């Protein structure tokens, strides 16, 4: 057995059995080891942004890390943006980055670069393994780090000689760290604030947005009148008919300030205190005013469900209180010209039961989120770090993690272009993903931002940089290139027909919605 074999064994022993990969020469021994391990599912992405984004989507839905296999600093660099997004989501992920053999580094060969520096910018944990006998041990540490609640990005640098060198050392698997018990004083402090009658908002993040934790938060809200809110960007939300509905913190700073205007106490439940995405002249960096006291009910490492249950206990909420839940969708199907709002209604109305929505609709995100509040029960994944190009890969990973669930990937065209190679992986793996491209042919959000920063209307040079027309992108052709069936919708009726048909059958399909 060599170091690469020991790595495969260690990953599999921890239940990590999916490897998103784009290997190069320095990873050939690992590729060869994977060949000897048919239990490992290897999924090729034709660009590393697909690899890392798919690993993010997979882990969000599988609740366990995938491995990625990346080629040196440049392969890692290509995957950097979606690692950034995954880091912001606290997604568990184990990256294996090949490096030159240790003795070869001194020669500064063409592909040599400072891998640790690049990895450090997007990882919670980075280590370069010292040799074949250390590989299994270091892999175990990487997996343990990735699995530390709420989840971390662990990057293990694997020099080629550590992969090809002989070893017989495979360590016993680590036990997964459990979530920390809630801080009882913190729970009492929030309970006290609520009992005192202060206007309180519970800001939910991470697993507080799912299952019994969310249900408990809903009971607290029903009994006490506190407001529930989700973070602006979240790893995963469980939503739809019959579930506790949550508004999100708004993207626009002015809107978010208005949301918190009457909040006297903000209690964080696995969430970060809200921050403006960008700074603007004469705008504050956070929507939370000086009149608001910020408390932490429980941090991301804690058992959020237990924290909410303890809060409910402190507040003596009767067992028979049931939360308000989202009603059954009652609107009809949209008709006529296609708009973002009608597209959102179509998705909400036609969404299959227990689907997964992947939202990188950017400017359309607000409408999609709002309309799908009462759609069939679903999970909702979104862009967490602001680095565009996450949607198509994330849908790919989600589809792999949940082969029995339909994925509906709502994708802006500008950001979709960043990682359109993901469509090929969807075709190869026959994933059950419907992609809806919002073809407005512009970076619509940037037209808004150009105004937000006090700049004028786009002139010739700004239009050149913010508009995607001349020539117009043809997404049906891109899909064909990648082996994915596709069709164009120019009216609301066409969109509904195509979405209905795509949801009725299995396999990838792309709808280019002409807005």
Considering the rule CB under 8 A, would residue 125 count as an interface residue with a copy of itself? no
User: Smallest Cα–Cα separation from 474: which of 491, 492, 462, 486?
Assistant: 486
The footprint of a copy of itself on residues 469-488 (CB under 8 A) is: 470-478, 480-483
Least separation, in Å, of the C-beta of 360 and a copy of itself?
14
Considering the rule CB under 8 A, would residue 24 count as an interface residue with a copy of itself? yes
Considering the rule CB under 8 A, would residue 294 count as an interface residue with a copy of itself? no
The footprint of a copy of itself on residues 223-242 (CB under 8 A) is: 233
Out of 47, 125, 369, 509, the only residue in the binding site for a copy of itself (CB under 8 A) is: 47
Contact call for residues 405 and 376 (beta carbons, < 8 A): no
Q: Which residue has the tokens 């540490």?
A: 141
Stretch that binds a copy of itself, among 239-247, 323-331, 344-352, 459-467 (CB under 8 A): 459-467
> Using CB under 8 A as the criterion, what x/- string covers residues 167-206 for binding a copy of itself?
----------------------------------------
Count of all residues that appear for the chain in the document: 515
- H helices within 36-159, ranges in order? 48-62, 72-78, 80-89, 115-120, 135-146
Stretch that binds a copy of itself, among 57-65, 136-144, 350-358, 450-458 (CB under 8 A): 450-458
Least separation, in Å, of the C-beta of 279 and a copy of itself?
4
Q: Which is nearer to a copy of itself, 339 or 452 (CB)?
A: 452
The footprint of a copy of itself on residues 368-427 (CB under 8 A) is: 384-387, 389, 414, 417-418, 420-421, 424, 427
Tell me the C-alpha distance between 11 and 444, whole Å: 42
Contact call for residues 113 and 122 (beta carbons, < 8 A): no
Per rule CB under 8 A, count of chain residues that contact a copy of itself: 105
- Quote the tokens at residue 510: 């792309």
248 burial via Cβ count (<10 Å: 0-12, 13-18, 19+):
buried
Considering the rule CB under 8 A, would residue 49 count as an interface residue with a copy of itself? yes
Q: Which is nearer to a copy of itself, 301 or 467 (CB)?
A: 467
The footprint of a copy of itself on residues 153-172 (CB under 8 A) is: 160-161, 164
Coil vs helix vs strand at 372: helix
Angle, alpha carbons 418-408-238 (nearest 5°) = 110
Tell me the C-alpha distance between 475 and 452, whole Å: 30
Q: DSSP label at 180?
A: B
The footprint of a copy of itself on residues 61-80 (CB under 8 A) is: 69, 73-75, 77-78, 80
Tell me the C-alpha distance between 210 and 216, whole Å: 10
């Amino acid at each position: 057995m060599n170091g690469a074999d020991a790595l495969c064994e260690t990953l599999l022993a921890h239940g990590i059995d999916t490897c998103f990969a784009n290997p190069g020469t320095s990873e050939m021994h690992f590729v060869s080891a994977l060949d000897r391990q048919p239990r490992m599912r290897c999924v090729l992405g034709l660009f590393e942004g697909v690899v890392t984004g798919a690993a993010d989507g997979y882990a969000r839905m599988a609740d366990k890390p995938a491995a990625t296999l990346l080629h040196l600093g440049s392969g890692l660099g290509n995957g950097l943006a979606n690692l950034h997004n995954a880091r912001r989501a606290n997604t568990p992920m184990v990256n294996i980055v090949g490096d030159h053999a240790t003795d070869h580094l001194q020669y500064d060969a063409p592909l040599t670069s400072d891998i640790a520096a690049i990895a450090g910018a997007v990882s919670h944990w980075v280590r370069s393994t010292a040799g074949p006998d250390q590989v299994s041990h270091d892999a175990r540490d990487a997996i343990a780090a990735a699995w530390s609640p709420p989840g971390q990005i662990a990057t293990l640098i694997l020099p080629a000689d550590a992969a090809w060198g002989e070893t017989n050392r495979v360590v016993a698997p680590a036990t997964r760290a459990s979530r920390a018990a809630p801080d009882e004083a913190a729970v009492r402090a929030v309970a006290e604030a609520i009992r005192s009658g202060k206007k309180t908002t519970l800001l939910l993040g991470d697993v507080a947005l799912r299952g019994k934790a969310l249900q408990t938060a809903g009971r607290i809200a029903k009994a006490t009148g506190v407001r529930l809110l989700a973070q602006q960007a979240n790893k995963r939300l469980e939503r739809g008919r019959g579930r506790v509905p949550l508004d999100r913190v708004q993207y626009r700073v002015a809107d978010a300030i208005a949301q918190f205007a009457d909040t006297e106490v903000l209690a964080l439940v696995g969430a970060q205190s809200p921050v403006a995405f960008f700074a603007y002249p004469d705008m504050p960096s956070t929507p939370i005013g000086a009149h608001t006291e910020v408390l932490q009910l429980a941090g991301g490492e804690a058992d959020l469900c237990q924290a909410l249950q303890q809060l409910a206990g402190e507040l003596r909420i009767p067992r028979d209180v049931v939360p308000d839940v989202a009603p059954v969708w009652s609107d009809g199907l949209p008709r006529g010209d296609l708009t973002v709002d009608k597209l959102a209604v179509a998705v909400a109305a036609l969404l299959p039961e227990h689907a997964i929505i992947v939202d990188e609709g950017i400017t359309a995100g607000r409408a999609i989120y709002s309309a799908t509040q009462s759609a069939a029960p679903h999970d909702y994944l979104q862009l967490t770090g602001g680095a565009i190009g996450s949607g198509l890969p994330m849908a790919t990973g989600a589809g792999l993690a949940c082969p029995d669930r339909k994925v509906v990937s709502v994708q802006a065209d500008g950001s979709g272009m960043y990682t359109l190679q993901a469509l090929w992986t969807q075709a190869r793996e026959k994933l059950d993903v419907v992609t809806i491209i919002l073809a407005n042919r512009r970076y619509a959000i940037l037209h808004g931002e150009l105004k937000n920063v006090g700049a004028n209307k786009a002139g010739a040079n700004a239009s050149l940089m913010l508009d995607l027309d001349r020539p117009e992108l043809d997404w049906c052709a891109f899909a064909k290139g990648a082996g994915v069936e596709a069709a164009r919708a120019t009216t609301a009726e066409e969109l509904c027909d195509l979405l209905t048909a795509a949801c009725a059958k299995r396999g990838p399909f792309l709808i280019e919605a002409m807005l």
